[in-house]
Amino acid sequence: MSSLFQSGTIAPRLTSLSPSAAMPGGEVALAGAALASDTLDLPRVLIGDVEAHTTLSRTARAAIEVPDGCISGDVVLQHAGGKSNPLYLHVAVPMAENLHPVSNPAVDADGNVFATVSGPRGQAVPVSVFRVERDFQSRPFIRELLNATGLAFGPDGYLYISSRAEGTVYRASPEGAVSLFAEGLGLATGLAFDLDGNLLVGDRSGTIFKIPPDRGVARSHSDREIFVFATLEPSMAAYHLAFNGEGTLFVSGPTTSSSQSIHRISREGTVTSFFKGLGRAQGMAFSAAGDLFVAASYRSQRGLIRITPSGEPSLALSGSNLVGLAFLDDGCAALATRDALFHVDLEIEGRPLP
């Protein structure tokens, strides 16, 4: 029997999935032909061998919700005895649970992923930062640091951690020995290193501080040089920071607005608007191709929004409750939600960090 006809009915044909990656609970749109029958019965959609919930059924399009427990696999639509061609969907799987990230995770040179248990402001938690190894084993890394917020690895291989409760930045050795690096930074949140090794620290009031590297000069936290690099409008919190390959700093901060802006700041400290129209924009990361990926919503689509250098947005991954991401060294990414880390193959190379 012809592959176009089964039981006298034209077989469904899938032409695209949008997006091609999702988290459990994320919605994926299917486009094609003959995706619905004349009956009221919904088509059956499988991701691998797991059935997905169909939320929309039309002749040329359908939509599904990715179920819990699902893994990456071929999407196949079936109805009226017909079976579509397969299209591959990348599905995020859990890496670590019982966390409380409030920004991007951080990745060391060995591919270990670090994430926080930030806790309510002013309340200490037993373990502040966990290290998740490549086999997804989770181990305590830093204990009893108050409200660990932003994370970033420096050129020295040390992990830098901001505390929004104390207005401080700590520095942790690869073995987990912690020392105070800088203080007096307001409600310190986002962290990022520029091409020259300067540490940029975001303050929820909109101030962005710059801390030069030691350059071989031993300094205590009390006499460390701290400069105001840039100031945003008062309603804009510098909660998340990311540099592109040219050394331009990009800043986001979640608000209640459904039309938030991503700001960009030149190496000289000039602030301009890069993109407007996001809802609850949070953590960001750049690909090697120069695209910005931000955890946000755009026109009712939630997940990872890809924004090209020319400002063209698209949904790269569908999912809810994302607060940040970090690209790994194999085309994959670590995704942070409000209480967990997920791993997904996006087939995207991340921008190498300084």
Separation of alpha carbons 265 and 249, rounded Å: 5
Last residue of a domain, one of 91, 106, 126: 91
Quick one: 297 and 221 in the same domain?
yes
Q: Which of 33-37, 168-172, 261-265 has the lowest mean pLDDT?
A: 33-37
**Residues 42/55, Cβ–Cβ less than 8 Å:** no
pLDDT, tens digit, for every residue of 143-168?
Answer: 989 999 999 999 999 999 999 999 99
Quick one: 28 and 162 in the same domain?
no
**In this structure, is residue 353 part of a structural domain?**
no
Quick one: 97 and 208 in the same domain?
yes
Quick one: 80 and 104 in the same domain?
no
The domain of 320 spans 93-345
Question: In the prediction, which pLDDT does 5 show?
Answer: 41
Quick one: 146 and 25 in the same domain?
no
Q: How many separate domains does the chain show?
A: 2
Dihedral angle, C-alpha 172, 173, 174, 177, nearest 10 °: -80
- Reduce the DSSP state of residue 325 to 3 states and report it: strand
* CATH (domain of 138): 2.130.10.10
pLDDT, tens digit, for every residue of 227-270?
Answer: 999 999 766 678 999 999 999 999 998 776 778 899 999 999 99
**Residues 177/163, Cβ–Cβ less than 8 Å:** no
* CATH (domain of 78): 2.60.40.10
Picking from 346, 345, 334, the residue whose alpha carbon sits closest to that of residue 99 is 334
What is the reported pTM?
0.94
Quick one: 85 and 116 in the same domain?
no
Last residue of a domain, one of 59, 91, 123: 91
- Reduce the DSSP state of residue 318 to 3 states and report it: strand
**In this structure, is residue 354 part of a structural domain?**
no
Separation of alpha carbons 17 and 32, rounded Å: 9
DSSP letter for 152, please.
E
CA distances from residue 175 to 75, 127, 158, 191, 252 in whole angstroms, order as listed = 44, 15, 9, 21, 31
Picking from 37, 44, 81, the residue whose alpha carbon sits closest to that of residue 58 is 37
Last residue of a domain, one of 91, 117, 150: 91
